[in-house]
Amino acid sequence: MTAETSTSAPDLLSRQENGVLHLTINREARRNAMNAAVVAGLTEALTAANSNRSLRAIALTGAGEKAFCAGADLQTGQSFKFDYSEPSQSIANLFRASRQLNVPLIARVNGACMAGGMGLMAMCDMVVAAPHAIFGLPEVKVGLFPAQVLSVLQGLIGPRALSELCITGEPISAQEALQMGLINRVSDDLDAGVQALLDRFLDKSPAAIRRGLYLMKRTGAMSFEESMAFTESQIALFALTDDAAEGQAAFREKRKPKWTGT
């Protein structure tokens, strides 16, 4: 079943199919660079996703085969012009929305993933990349630094590798990104690679995944004792779900579980 919809941003395409929301930055001529409409559309889509129980996953990509996202659209000359009276900025709010998201978010990296595009990739839970994809933080080449992107990149790779990416501004290949743990897999057939990853969890408990993402995104910054206190209370809530009862019953009865997502 396929549902064609549109977000508030004309430069962002949205399509829901078989429980997966496909979001495509549709600015191929600009190497899918972000503008205000793209950022607003992504924020809106991620914010709405938690209340849509028919959604099992979200896949984010860019139009064409050359770029996932080249970052901010520098051609406008307005990319780093801010309203300094506002205490928060739009891209930061997008990253905040991703941290509140309880639906698995997959980046389908179909080409260059640069600057702010690295932030979009890093805010995702899993990443599948084409062999020709490249990854980089070239901000120092234009007198800037990947400040907000660091908030979602830190913890994904080691500090030495992150320092080199930030300070040299030089890109790395998909294979290098795979070796350092920045992405999950490289696939010659990108759509098949994304589907193979989806197939590994779409048959699992929606309730467990939803609560599990909530758990993981909150324990990352906790100390050991804080994390243990939080998780020992959370496991009891997992056990109270209908999916937990069904999953254990199915195990005992040697059958496939019938998930309700509750």
- Same-domain pairing of 12 and 30: yes
- Same-domain pairing of 145 and 180: yes
Residue 94 lies in a domain: yes
Residue-wise pLDDT for 173-203, tens only, equals 999 999 999 999 999 999 999 999 999 999 9
What is the spatial distance between Cα 109 and Cα 131, in angstroms, rounded to a whole number? 10
Among 172, 199, 226, identify where a domain stops.
199
Residue 156 lies in a domain: yes
- Same-domain pairing of 86 and 34: yes
Q: What is the DSSP string of 193-213?
A: HHHHHHHTTTTS-HHHHHHHH
Residue 259 lies in a domain: no
pLDDT of residue 1: 42
Residue indicated by tokens 């919809």: 5
Question: By C-alpha distance, which of 198, 244, 219 is closest to 103?
Answer: 198
The predicted model gives 11-26 an average pLDDT of 97
Considering the chain, what percentage of its residues have pLDDT values greater than 90? 86
- Same-domain pairing of 189 and 169: yes
Residue-wise pLDDT for 206-254, tens only, equals 999 999 999 999 998 899 999 999 999 999 999 999 999 999 999 999 9
pTM here is 0.91
- Same-domain pairing of 48 and 147: yes
Give the strand pairing for 20-25 and 12-17. Answer: antiparallel
Residue 261 lies in a domain: no
H or E element that contains 151: helix 147-153
- Same-domain pairing of 171 and 210: no
Question: By C-alpha distance, which of 219, 261, 195 is closest to 20?
Answer: 195
- Judged by average pLDDT, the poorest of 41-45, 50-54, 74-78 is 74-78
Domain count, the chain: 2
Domain range enclosing 228: 206-253
What is the spatial distance between Cα 199 and Cα 161, in angstroms, rounded to a whole number? 31
Q: How many CA atoms lie within 13 A of 261 on its CB side?
A: 14
Residue 66 lies in a domain: yes
Q: Identify the CATH number of the domain in which residue 215 sits.
A: 1.10.12
- Same-domain pairing of 184 and 106: yes
Residue indicated by tokens 């914010």: 47
CB 114 within 8 A of CB 72: no
Among 155, 180, 199, identify where a domain stops.
199
- Same-domain pairing of 179 and 235: no
Residue 139 is given by DSSP the state G
Residue 130 DSSP SS3? coil
Q: Identify the CATH number of the domain in which residue 137 sits.
A: 3.90.226.10
What is the spatial distance between Cα 111 and Cα 82, in angstroms, rounded to a whole number? 29
- Same-domain pairing of 39 and 149: yes
